[in-house]
Structure 1
Amino acid sequence: MGRTESPDRAVDRAIRELVQEPKRYRVILHNDNYTTMDFVVEVLRLVFHKSPVESHAIMMKIHKTGQGIVGVYSYDIAATRAARTRSLAKEGGYPLKCTIEEVS
C-alpha cells in the first residue's frame, strides 16, 4: 500500500512552494574627489553599523576601485540606509553618492 501525504504536510509543502524569499538589494557607495575618507568611515559606522576596522577597509576599497558594496538588505532597509547616508552627506556638505541595486 502506498504512502499518502497528510493534509497538514501537503498544506505546509504548498505554502513553502508559494512563499518566496524577499528580494535583496545592495547598497553601494561611490567615490568622489570631495567627500573625506573620515566622513565615509563615520557613515559606515553610524548608518551601516560597521566596526572601525571594517569601515576603514570598505572605505579604502571604495577609494581604490571607485565604488563598494556596503551591505545587502531587504528593499525597505536598503532604501532607508541609502536615504540616511544621502541626508548625512548633504548636511555635511559632501556630494557622496549612495545607490541601491537589486541582487540578481
Structure 2
Amino acid sequence: MRGIGGRYWQYWTRKTQRGLPPRSRRGRQRFSHVIDGGLSMSDNDVAAKRLTKPKLERPKLYKVLLVNDDFTPREFVVMVLKAVFRMSEEAGYRVMMTAHKMGTSVVVVCAKDVAETKAKEATDLGKEAGFPLLFTAEPEE
C-alpha cells in the first residue's frame, strides 16, 4: 500500500483549490489596484468622499404597554396577546398577570411604527368585543 502522495495527492490538492485565485509570488503587489481603487492622485478627494459612509442611527425603541382594567376577562386578554403579539399561552398569561397585579405590563419593545400599529390593533380587538382593553405605545428610556 502506498502512502499519501504522488498523483493522488496532486489530484486531491488541485480539486480542493478549484475556484481559488492563482497564487502570487509577489504578495500584496498583485492587489495594489484594489487597495487604491485604481484612481490617480487627482481623483483622491473624490475617492475619499466615496469611501466615507453615512452614519446610520438605529430607530428609537418603543414599548407596548398593557393597561389593566377590571372589566376585560383574563382569557380574552390572553387571546389578544396570542393573536396580535404571537405569544404563547404561558407568556400571554404571565404578561396578563403582571398587568393585573402591577397595573401595567410591558408586552413588547420594538420600533415606533410597529409598536403603534400593534397597540392600535390590540385595542381595536378589545373594542370590537365590547371591552375597554387598552394598549399604549411609549418611548423606552
**Per the shorter chain, which TM-score range?**
0.7 to 0.9
Give the TM-score, by structure 2 length.
Answer: 0.63
Aligned letter for 2:99? I
State the distance in 2 between where 1:51 and 1:11 align. 45
- The structure whose residues are more often strand, as a share, is 1
Residue identity in the other structure for 2:95? I
Q: How many residues align?
A: 95
For residues 9 and 52 of structure 1, what CA distance do their matches in structure 2 show? 51
2:121 paired with 1:84: yes
Shift of residue 7, structure 1, vs aligned partner: 4.0
Specify the SS of the correspondent of 1:95.
coil
> Which sections of structure 2, spanning at least 5 residues, go unmatched?
1-46
Residue of structure 2 aligned with 1:54, choices 84, 91, 94: 91
Between the aligned residues of both structures, percent identity stands at 38
- Of structures 1 and 2, the larger Rg is shown by 2
Structure 1: gaps spanning 5 or more residues: 1-5
Q: Say whether residues 1:96 and 2:133 are aligned partners.
A: yes
Equivalent residue for 1:65?
102
Q: 1-side partners of 2:135 and 2:80: how far apart?
A: 11
CA RMSD of aligned residues (A): 1.6
Name the CA distance, whole Å, in 2 between partners of 1:60 and 1:95.
17
Which portions of structure 1, spanning 4 or more consecutive aligned residues, are displaced by more than 6 angstroms?
Answer: none
Q: Which has the higher contact order (CA 8 A, sep 6+)?
A: 1
**Which residue does the alignment assign to 2:29?**
none
Residue-by-residue CA offset, 1:2-51 (whole Å, 9 max, x unaligned): xxxx8489514xx2xx2110011000011111011001100110000111
Q: Does 2:52 align with 1:11?
A: yes
